[in-house]
A and B are shown apart, each in its own frame.
Chain A
Amino acid sequence: MVNSVKAVALALLAVAAVAAAAQAPDPNLARSLAATCANCHGTGGASQGGTESLAGMPKDTMLRKIQEFKTGNKPATIMHQLSRGYTDEQIALIAGWFAEQKVSK
């Protein structure tokens, strides 16, 4: 009986440990979120043309632009719809990551 209680307790601990590991913040979250923008804005935010380059854009500038897209204050064809799919926390991570990228010439 005691043994089986111990076994159950250990099993629960193991489950908790796995759950904790799954919930730990991903050190690469900002990078991975920013990569969802690359289809249109270029790998690392270096646009191949026709869309804005995001690499090296100051964080505040991007945060302001995205907020304007989200509220509808900035006219857009598509960015008002896409920006609303990301949380403010995710936008902050994305903006921070692009701000740190080198501007390609």
Chain B
Amino acid sequence: MSTQRREFLKTSAAGLGTVAALTLPGCATMGGGASGKVVIVGGGYGGATAAKYIRMWSNGGIDVAVIEPNPEFISCPMSNLVLGGSKDLAFLTVSYDNLSRRHGVKVVRDTAAAIDTEKRIVKLAGGNELPYDRLILSPGIDFMWDKVPGLDNADAQSRVLHAWKAGPQTVALRKQLEAMPDGGVYVLSIPVAPYRCPPGPYERACQVAWYFKRVKPKAKVLILDGNGDVTSKGPLFKKAWAEEYKGIVEYRGNYVLTDVYVAAKTAKFEVQYEVKADVMNFVPPQRAGAIARSAGVVTANDRWCDVDFLTFESVKVRNVHVLGDAIQIAAGMPKSGHMANQHAKVCAAAVVALLAGQPPNPTPVLNNTCYSMITDKDSIHVCSVHQWDKDKKTVLPVPGAGGVSTAMSELEGNYAFAWAKNIWADTLA
């Protein structure tokens, strides 16, 4: 057992005592005085934000450990620019150092293997066990490969790429696009909603078309959407395809993919004829990351986790909170990195309050802002504000608020890059 690990256990025992003392009324003020041990699984937009804000808002009183297998944070938002070729992976990459150095978060490079919600222990793949007072799962998504028999093995998955988790797959897909001959067809298959980042596939089509337009003018982008129509910013994307990328992008709805023949680069569909690609990019159907299953918090359609939106605590398992793409979303709430950051702040405030013996904020507010890059410089947005509805006991979009861009613009492109710089710092620095 490492020194760090022993420290961790010691503070945990002390923390539990303090928590009990602080549940007496009148003891705690302003979130200060909160103590205890929080373990967070996943260092993405949700988990990293929760870690930082719990440390900040408890004035360092709560011990926070983040379990994350990747050495660095790589952003999914903006990763389509790597496919277009105007940015590289380094642009998307942020260190975890500031979380530990500035905020005292313990960043544990490991994988959560199992969770014992009775004993409140997270078991790590590396063999260690971390006890918690409150557990926050921000595991992101897993792909449902069982829905696509031809891709249910590692070799096939290394050839027909998803690139729906930014990193090596993003770079590999870029290489496939570079190797594709002019006149070739890039096929992008989109799953039936809900999936991570509703406008993401349509932005990707734009970025690949931006690359083709400059370098391979005879190449085509064929979008085969499992949904009946474009699920986000529809009129704006369709305008871009009709004007900016005229003759390059073709969109077809209601293409529900059932299988892929990897060697023939051919996709099979529920209804339509098979389609052959030169580069096949398949975004698979998704569900909450597997660790959510181990914690017993997957409650919706065997895919997502229902939460209480006042605290993001699981509706089923006490002291376990779930954030980000893994949750069963409220009406009008997208699965986005921005939204995961906002989930994390509501959850952080609630966890700090609860560990100080106070009630959580009864009126949480969240917002979403999502930019999609149409070219290397021009962008469009969709945004919304979500307020607590005390009768329906959920958060709902405010009517009359939110909306989309009037047209793509370089000004919004500048704001998109400003958004990235600010949210990466807000989440990790």
The reply to whether chain A is a binding partner of chain B is: yes
Q: Residues of A with Cβ closer than 8 Å to B?
A: 21-24, 26-29, 31-33, 35-36, 38-43, 47-51, 77-78, 81-86, 90
Partner of B423, one of A39, A83, A90: A39
On chain B, the number of residues with a Cβ less than 8 Å from chain A's Cβ atoms is 50
Q: Are A28 and B30 in contact (CB under 8 A)?
A: yes
Which 10 residue pairs spanning A and B have beta carbons closest together? A85-B385, A50-B418, A85-B401, A84-B401, A85-B398, A26-B361, A81-B403, A39-B423, A48-B421, A35-B345
Q: CA separation between A81 and B338, bound complex, in Å? A: 16
Contact of A84 with B418 at beta-carbon distance under 8 Å, contacts A39-B369, A77-B405 already known: no
A81-B383, A85-B384, A85-B398 known; A40+B418 contact, CB < 8 A: yes
- Tell me whether A39 and B426 are in contact in the complex, defined as CB-CB below 8 angstroms, given that A85-B385, A86-B385 are known contacts: yes
Closest-by-CB residue of A relative to B359 is: A21
Asked if B353 is at the interface (CB within 8 A of a chain A CB), the reply is: yes
Known: A28-B30, A39-B423. A51 touches B415 (CB 8 A): yes
> Closest CB-CB distance, B375 to chain A, in whole Å?
17
B429 proximity list for chain A (CB < 8 A): 43
A residues near B422, Cβ cutoff 8 Å: 38-42, 47-51
Q: How far is the CB of A6 from chain B (nearest CB, A)?
A: 24
Who on chain A is nearest to B362 by CB?
A22
- Smallest distance from the beta carbon of A39 to chain B beta carbons, Å? 5
Known: A26-B361, A39-B338. Contact between A50 and B414, CB under 8 A? yes
Q: Measured between C-beta atoms, what is the minimum distance from B308 to chain A in Å? A: 12
B341 interfacial contact with A, CB 8 Å:
yes
> Are the C-beta atoms of B53 and A77 separated by less than 8 Å?
no
Asked whether, in the complex, the Cβ of A28 is within 8 Å of the Cβ of B31, the reply is yes
**Chain B residues with Cβ under 8 A from A21's Cβ?**
359
In the assembled complex, the Cα of A82 lies from the Cα of B405 at a distance in Å of 12
Within 8 A of A (CB), among B379-418: 381, 383-387, 397-398, 400-403, 405, 409, 411-412, 414-415, 417-418
B401 touches A22 (CB 8 A): no
Q: Which of B361, B366, B383, B423 contacts A28 (CB 8 A)?
A: B361
The residue in chain B whose Cβ has the minimal distance to the Cβ of A26 is B361
Cβ contact within 8 Å between A43 and B365: no
Closest to B338 in A: A39
Please name all residues of chain B whose beta carbon is closer than 8 Å to the beta carbon of A24 when the two chains form the complex. 359, 362
Q: Is the CB of B423 within 8 A of A84?
A: no
Q: Residues of A contacting B425 with CB < 8 Å?
A: 42-43, 48
Which residues on A sit within 8 Å (CB–CB) of B361? 26, 28-29, 32
Residue on B with the closest CB to A35? B345
Find A77's partner among B341, B381, B398 (CB 8 Å cutoff). B381
Give the residue of B365, B381, B398 whose beta carbon is less than 8 angstroms from that of A78: B381
Chain B residues, CB < 8 A from A82:
367, 369, 383, 385, 401-402
Nearest Cβ distance between residue A55 and chain B, in whole angstroms? 13
Any A CB within 8 A of the CB of B57: yes
Chain A proximity of B272: nearest CB distance (Å): 38
Q: What residues of chain A lie closer than 8 Å to B417, measured between beta carbons?
A: 50
**Nearest-Cβ distance from residue B122 to partner chain A, whole angstroms:** 27
A40–B419 CB distance below 8 A:
yes
